[in-house]
Amino acid sequence: MNYLWIDTFGTLQLRNQKVTVSHFPTQHAKELLAFLLLHPHIKHNRLKVISLLWPECAEDKGRGRLNTELWRVRTLFKKVGLAPETILQTDRESITFSPNSIIKIDYEQFKMLVNQGIKELDPEKKELIFSKIIGLYKGDFCEDIFTDWCIIERERLSRMYLSVLGSLMRCALDRKSYQETIAYGETILRLDPLREEVHRALILCFANLGLFSKAAKQFHLCSQLLWEELRILPLPETVALFDKLLIERYHTHTNFPPQKENQEELRQTYLHYQEVSARLSQLMESAGAL
């Protein structure tokens, strides 16, 4: 069967096995298609659509513009071998987009998998479902459309994606797969650097991999970001975790004979401790001055 894939994450595009259409004749044609993709199988009043695309436009002029953009959307469907009349029903008052079974929309697949994952109680099956979402989310929803309704949906989907990544990170951490946990955590922090629970997970993973220097840097980064962006200190559990790691690190080294390499590593550990302690003291002093 010849499927038509419609990608909404990243750049909006239509593609089949032979043709990919990512160039739209106008921005309004792209916005119209995106709106219809968000709300399939619904009869949309033409005046409502006009108000979304051309808020200040008079009705008569708006109807003419809408007809032109509908013609352009139909032309795009024809380019990918789809008869537009089979999925786009219009009359003088309404527009309905009714995708059939050969149309695969990543947005709809994303929502379906998220809902399946939320309902799944088995941790392994949940992780398997959520892992499929990673390949779908190639970027922000319709990243080059900046209308209010699109921005709202983009932010909602981004939050859902971050939640999925968080679940995958916790699953990996439960399995003690520390490298995988770090990969998920770093992806989350690129999108939302202020997630303290993610910083905490990375600190733990780095420590368990024997990368204490990276654990110390992660704690320092977390403290700095929280203070610079939110004017708050790390949570007590974050400080307690790093304090615990410092103590364990110290005892590990003091239990070994005073070999030169152990002494050097202990010296580095102490230097990291001094650096982080000094930074926390500065933050606490600043907080007290507010």
Per-residue model confidence as pLDDT tens digits over 18-63: 999 999 999 999 999 999 999 999 999 999 999 999 999 999 999 9
Beta-bridge partners for 45:
94
State residue 162's pLDDT score: 98
Cβ density class 227-253: b for 16+ within 10 Å, e for less:
beeeeebbeeebeebbeebbeebeeeb
State residue 277's pLDDT score: 61
Q: Based on the domain organization, do 265 and 255 belong to the same domain?
A: no
Q: Based on the domain organization, do 10 and 57 belong to the same domain?
A: yes
How close are the terminal C-alpha atoms of the chain, in Å? Answer: 66
Q: Based on the domain organization, do 32 and 93 belong to the same domain?
A: yes
Question: What one-character DSSP code corresponds to residue 235?
Answer: P
User: How far is it, in rounded angstroms, from Cα 1 to Cα 77?
Assistant: 17
The two tokens of residue 153 are 């949906």
State residue 258's pLDDT score: 47
Q: Any residues with CB less than 8 A from the CB of 3 and at least 6 apart, and which?
A: 16, 17, 102, 103, 104
* Residue where a domain stops, chosen among 54, 75, 104: 104
Q: Based on the domain organization, do 68 and 204 belong to the same domain?
A: no
Split into its structural domains, the chain has a count of: 3
Q: Based on the domain organization, do 119 and 231 belong to the same domain?
A: yes
Cβ proximity of 283 and 232 under 8 Å: no
Domain of residue 141, CATH code: 1.25.40.10
Q: Based on the domain organization, do 84 and 176 belong to the same domain?
A: no
Q: Based on the domain organization, do 60 and 176 belong to the same domain?
A: no
Domain of residue 28, CATH code: 1.10.10.10
Q: Based on the domain organization, do 148 and 215 belong to the same domain?
A: yes
State residue 282's pLDDT score: 65
User: How far is it, in rounded angstroms, from Cα 8 to Cα 140?
Assistant: 8
Beta-bridge partners for 85:
none
pTM of the model: 0.84
- What's the domain range around 265? 260-289
At residue 52's C-alpha, the angle toward residues 63 and 50, to 5°, is 5
Beta-bridge partners for 13:
7
* Residue where a domain stops, chosen among 55, 79, 104: 104
Break the chain down into helix, strand, coil percent, rounded to 5: 65, 10, 25
Beta-bridge partners for 105:
6
**Which parts of the chain register pLDDT below 70?**
1, 250-290
Q: Based on the domain organization, do 111 and 255 belong to the same domain?
A: yes
Q: Based on the domain organization, do 111 and 92 belong to the same domain?
A: no
Q: Based on the domain organization, do 197 and 61 belong to the same domain?
A: no
- Per-residue pLDDT tens digits for 192-201: 999 999 999 9
State residue 243's pLDDT score: 87
Q: Based on the domain organization, do 18 and 91 belong to the same domain?
A: yes
* Residue where a domain stops, chosen among 57, 80, 104: 104
Report how many helices (DSSP H) and strands (DSSP E) the chain contains, helices first. Answer: 11, 7
